[in-house]
Amino acid sequence: MTTEENLKKYQEWLFRRSAYQMALSIIGIDKLTVAPPAGNAYRDARTAYLSGELFSIDTDPEILAVLKELKDAPDIDEDIRKGIQLYYEEAQKRLCIPKEEYVAFEELSNRSYDAWLEAKQKKDYSIFEPYLKEVIEAQKKLYGYRDSDLPLYERMLDDYEPGMRIADYDAFFAAVKERLLPLIARIAEAKQPEDSFLYQNYPIDEQKKFMDELLAYLRFDPSWGYQNETEHPFTSWTCENDCRTTTKYLADNPVSAIFSTVHEVGHATYEHQCDPRYDGMVLSEGISSGMHESQSRLCENYLGRTDAFWAYNYPLLQKHFPSQLAGVSLEAFMKAVNKSSPSLVRTEADELTYPVHILIRYEIEKGLFDGSISTEGLDGVWNAKYREYLGVEAKDPSEGILQDVHWSGGSFGYFPTYALGSAFAAQFMEAMRHDFDVDRALRTNRYDLCMGWLKEHIHRYGCRYPAQEILIKATGRSFDVNVYLDYLEDKYSRLYGLK
């Protein structure tokens, strides 16, 4: 076939798979937000059928032959070639696995999820342990099929953050350990700010009225974005002009929904601002887990937890909650929302202690795959690390080893990107602050200027370039963990008067 004929087939294939993807995405969002649970069985069966169809489309030998020819064809647009290469690489990862083993793993991860949920509810790690062991063995086997020289765990790390190696993460977490653990210990001893005013009755109806104003400030425009409610906030999308986020309101804490919204809208804005030419293509997606998380955390922490952000928004919040926030100054509010203290649950951790939660998961994952740590007694290993690094100990495994869902489905190597994203964000923020007066923009209701900077330097590229290359393009230098650690040291030393 000629290159032209191949390209036509490729475009038709892209359209077909994006149609299935869109359907699956909308059904997934619907299920997690508003779909009545009695319809689950009917819906799940049809969703599984559609997923199977998409799998067949993606592994169709005819299209694989087309991809193979096109990826090295002369005279094709480099954007298109990049997309083809990414699809081709993805297909190879999947095709090396015997189909029956792929299906068996899907089935195992469903059973393992159920066991994890039961174990968490009964606060009993021994219910989950045999499944965790089986999932790890299965993943070792599946990843073993890949044609790769990388150690097994590194293959997993590479799936979430291409190019990041064990040695890179070792260096990253060693620096986190060396510089943050002493600071965390000092702050644990320091006088904590008063924050009881945050934990009283904040009627949800009124929180929603404030949220409308906040969403407008964040430029989350209803013409392309929609916010719903769920137990665990997330962001999903079908194309750059249809992005959905969710949040969760707590009647006794208004800032939970606020910061989760700023975070999720950060993810959504990344997708929205990608070059529309990449719509429906793999290029339209964020380049890596770490890069996606860098955008949401930049919005949540580096913009959303600043004095300038709240100089504009705090009077609005006070307007909605005059009695709850009576006599609470902006300064007192800022100290409360930036409070740091060692805790057990990752998703509720503050900005300073958060990377230590990830460090613990990284050390355990690495040990599970190099054989130095076993699933038996892993709850004890977990508790020992929390005691050593954060000085806290879980009363039961539901707030210890069983708190996160990731391992039940075989997601190993994902956690480290959460910490990496925060560190990328520090470097982006430094560059943004160099280019214009960010605080002035935030104070004067010009959040759009910050989003415009992110669009120009990061968002529009989608995954056209590797994460490390985007970092260099945007900041003029390669990744440097010290920017992140300097930022945290400076911020928390100031907040706690340690300087």
Asked if 294 touches Zn ion (CB under 5 A), the answer is no
Structural contact between residues 217 and 172, judged by C-beta atoms closer than 8 angstroms: no
**C-alpha–C-alpha distance, residues 123 and 67, integer Å:** 49
Neighbouring C-beta atoms of residue 291, cutoff 10 Å: 25
For Zn ion, the nearest residue by Cβ is: 296
**C-alpha–C-alpha distance, residues 469 and 477, integer Å:** 9
Amino acid 210 reads F
Choices 81-89, 159-167, 295-303, 404-412; region in contact with Zn ion by CB under 5 A? 295-303
Nearer to Zn ion, 268 or 378 (CB): 268
Amino acid 33 reads T
Give which of 358, 354, 360 is closest to 340, Cα–Cα.
354
Asked if 296 touches Zn ion (CB under 5 A), the answer is yes
Residues between 188 and 247 with contacts to Zn ion, criterion CB under 5 A? none
**C-alpha–C-alpha distance, residues 241 and 269, integer Å:** 10
**C-alpha–C-alpha distance, residues 355 and 189, integer Å:** 19
Task: Tell me the two tokens of residue 63.
Answer: 């299209």
Q: How far is CA 314 from CA 86, 168, 281, 317, 445, in A?
A: 45, 40, 40, 5, 12
Cβ burial of 330 (10 Å; 0-12, 13-18, 19+) is middle
For the bound state, the minimum distance from the C-beta of residue 387 to Zn ion, rounded and expressed in Å, comes to 28
**C-alpha–C-alpha distance, residues 18 and 20, integer Å:** 5
**C-alpha–C-alpha distance, residues 165 and 154, integer Å:** 6
Structural contact between residues 424 and 471, judged by C-beta atoms closer than 8 angstroms: yes
For the bound state, the minimum distance from the C-beta of residue 347 to Zn ion, rounded and expressed in Å, comes to 10
Choices 288-296, 325-333, 374-382, 404-412; region in contact with Zn ion by CB under 5 A? 288-296
For the bound state, the minimum distance from the C-beta of residue 498 to Zn ion, rounded and expressed in Å, comes to 29
Choices 16-24, 130-138, 242-250, 293-301; region in contact with Zn ion by CB under 5 A? 293-301
For the bound state, the minimum distance from the C-beta of residue 196 to Zn ion, rounded and expressed in Å, comes to 29
* # chain residues binding Zn ion, by CB under 5 A: 1
| List 161, 240, 264, 363, catalytic entry | 264
For the bound state, the minimum distance from the C-beta of residue 352 to Zn ion, rounded and expressed in Å, comes to 18
For the bound state, the minimum distance from the C-beta of residue 264 to Zn ion, rounded and expressed in Å, comes to 7
Nearer to Zn ion, 87 or 484 (CB): 484
Contacts for 196 with CB less than 8 Å, ≥ 6 apart: none
Active site residue 264: yes
Our measurement of the distance from residue 9's CA atom to the centroid of its chain's CA atoms, rounded to an integer in Å, reads 34
- H/E stretch holding 242 reads strand 242-247
Choices 168-176, 199-207, 290-298, 458-466; region in contact with Zn ion by CB under 5 A? 290-298
Residues between 64 and 83 with contacts to Zn ion, criterion CB under 5 A? none
Nearer to Zn ion, 320 or 361 (CB): 361
Tokens 């909650």 map to which residue?
321
Task: Tell me the two tokens of residue 158.
Answer: 């590479």
Nearer to Zn ion, 234 or 447 (CB): 234
Choices 60-68, 296-304, 358-366, 398-406; region in contact with Zn ion by CB under 5 A? 296-304
Choices 72-80, 280-288, 289-297, 454-462; region in contact with Zn ion by CB under 5 A? 289-297
Nearer to Zn ion, 17 or 305 (CB): 305
For the bound state, the minimum distance from the C-beta of residue 293 to Zn ion, rounded and expressed in Å, comes to 5
Tokens 């990328």 map to which residue?
424
For the bound state, the minimum distance from the C-beta of residue 467 to Zn ion, rounded and expressed in Å, comes to 15
**C-alpha–C-alpha distance, residues 358 and 376, integer Å:** 21
Nearer to Zn ion, 112 or 245 (CB): 245
Task: Tell me the two tokens of residue 458.
Answer: 């990061």
Structural contact between residues 130 and 119, judged by C-beta atoms closer than 8 angstroms: no
Nearer to Zn ion, 273 or 296 (CB): 296
Q: How many residues does the chain have?
A: 499
Nearer to Zn ion, 296 or 301 (CB): 296
Compose the 246-285 pattern: x for residues touching Zn ion by CB under 5 A, - for all others: ----------------------------------------
Q: List active site positions.
A: 264
Binding site for Zn ion (CB under 5 A): 296
